[in-house]
Amino acid sequence: METPRIRYAKSGDISIAYQVIGDGPLTIVYAPGWISHVEILWEEPSFAQFMTRISAFARIILFDKRGTGASDRDVGFPTLDDRMDDIRAVMDAVGVERAALFGGSEGGNMACMFAAAHPERVSHLVLFGVFAKREWAPDYPWAPTPEQRQAWIDLIEQGWGGPADMDEIAPSRAGDKAFGAWFGRLCRLSASPGTAVRLARLNTKIDVRGVLPAISAPTLVMNRKEDRDAKIEEARYVAACIPGAVLRELEGGDHLPWTSGAAEVAGEIEEFLTGARADESDLVLATILCTDIVGSTSRRTAMGDTAWASLIAQHDALVRAALRRRQGVEINTTGDGFLASFASPARAIQAALDVQDGLRTIGLPVRAGVHTGECRRTGASVSGVAIDIAVRVAGLAGESEVLASRTVRDLTIGAQFEFVSRGEHALKGAPGAWEVFAVTPRRF
């Protein structure tokens, strides 16, 4: 989806960046962890899909805490009390008197404090990957020791913003170099090395154990069983201390809620807040776009792996920017191409043309195929034969050509495109003959 507009709320003299997504009947305020950037986060498809799924049943308010992201940076040494003011500021700016709070990691501590201090403004509390204390103690033995915590801070000082090692924060993405590079960029743009270290030291002192029994809002605590950053024992402790809290122990080890199993997390939140969970598998009409680099194998051989990897990184960034601009949802990437779904065939075509225009600037020719058909929706993603047909249509396209099925042509008559028949073709796995059309912008 297109990156939501960034707005600013005033928390005292501090400007707090926030976004509003969706228009559901209830409101969720998402309190991020250690660092965040409300613009850069949307570049990661799994985050965008997670938030899109939640926005199907709720309005979401996202914000960057003071000192991070697009909010004011030079703010001294913010306490949890200061950060609570940030929650109140964005709620007031949006005109929300009462909302559900969704806190991840250190954001969960902030949400717990706010729920205890302002029960009249919190309808529900949802916590993911939380801890009650950030440093080891005899009566809280699951947190890192002071030596372990200092070793982690030393790593921040030595390599802030470099390619991120996902073994602890998101082990499901540990082998994904593109994700690691994006996460490093997120870190660099969310905070400077000095700010990151300062916040890490402040967070080390967090201890909300005394606050938990005072929380009166209905509370859901979620944690993955193999989470190495916030251990499952910590979630059990938090849930046991909050009166009436519900605990959900999820499979996996990711500390972030949206890098894997995001549909399950969103479903748990929806059921907790609304009393029912939407069917995650529905048949919908979707338009599928398939893009493919022409001659990728021979070009990679000629360039060498290092140069090719750099070019592919540019390719991926340009394609994802086009998808966001036209409200597409990434389904998959094959290394030299993308699959994405759209609610509108016109948007899918325009995205294909945008991709070709963008990649032309780096000398990378692509072919594209577009087809509209019935798909099975699971969360924010889709699957089905329509995807296979779009892939086959793309395979018929020439260099820098966009081909569309007759279905797409029929649904976009009167739009800003011209369609020229390229004849009928047999498509593997699809019955009968399929007429395809070359698509170009209409000349007025």
Residue of 217 and 85 predicted with greater confidence: 217
> Across residues 32-39, what is the average pLDDT?
92
Q: Which of 116-130, 179-193, 227-241, 408-422 has the lowest mean pLDDT?
A: 408-422
Mean pLDDT, to the nearest integer, of 242-262? 94
Q: Which tens digit of pLDDT belongs to each residue from 125-143?
A: 999 999 999 999 999 999 9
pLDDT score at 174: 85
pLDDT at 339: 93
Please give the pLDDT value at position 280. Answer: 59
Tokens of 193: 């090395």
- pLDDT over threshold 70, residue 331: yes
- Per-residue confidence (pLDDT) for residue 379, from 0 to 100: 63
Sign of dihedral through CA atoms 112, 19, 79, 89?
negative
376 bridge partner residues: 283, 383
The backbone torsions φ and ψ at residue 379, rounded to the nearest 5 degrees and listed phi first, read: 65, -125
Q: Of 26, 165, 49, 162, which Cα lies nearest the Cα of 96?
A: 26
User: Is residue 225 scored above 60 in pLDDT?
Assistant: yes
pLDDT of residue 1: 46
pLDDT on residue 199 = 87
CA separation for the pair 342, 350 (Å, rounded): 11
Q: pLDDT grade, residue 165 (50/70/90)?
A: low
At 359 the pLDDT is 92
User: What CATH superfamily classification does 281-441 receive?
Assistant: Nucleotide cyclase, GGDEF domain (3.30.70.1230)
What is this structure's pTM? 0.69
pLDDT tens readout for residues 360-390:
999 899 999 999 987 877 666 677 888 889 9
Given a contact cutoff of 8 angstroms between Cβ atoms, the answer to whether 30 and 125 are in contact is: no
Asked whether the predicted pLDDT for residue 282 surpasses 70, the reply is: no
- What does the pLDDT read at residue 240? 98
pLDDT in tens, 97-117: 999 999 999 999 999 999 999
The string of pLDDT tens digits covering residues 14-33 is 999 999 988 778 999 999 98
Tokens 């070709």 belong to 356
Residue 335 has pLDDT above 80, yes or no: no
Q: pLDDT tens-digit profile of 175-215? A: 788 888 889 999 999 999 988 898 888 888 999 999 999 99
**How much is the mean pLDDT over the chain?**
89
Model confidence over 48-62: pLDDT tens digits?
878 888 888 899 999
pLDDT band for position 164 (50/70/90)? Answer: low
Instruction: For domain 7-274, say whether CATH 3.40.50.1820 is its number.
Output: yes
Residue 284: per-residue pLDDT: 77
Confidence of residue 414 (pLDDT cuts 50, 70, 90): low
Smallest Cα–Cα separation from 93: which of 3, 2, 15, 4? 15
Kindly list the domain boundaries of the chain, sorted by start residue.
7-274, 281-441
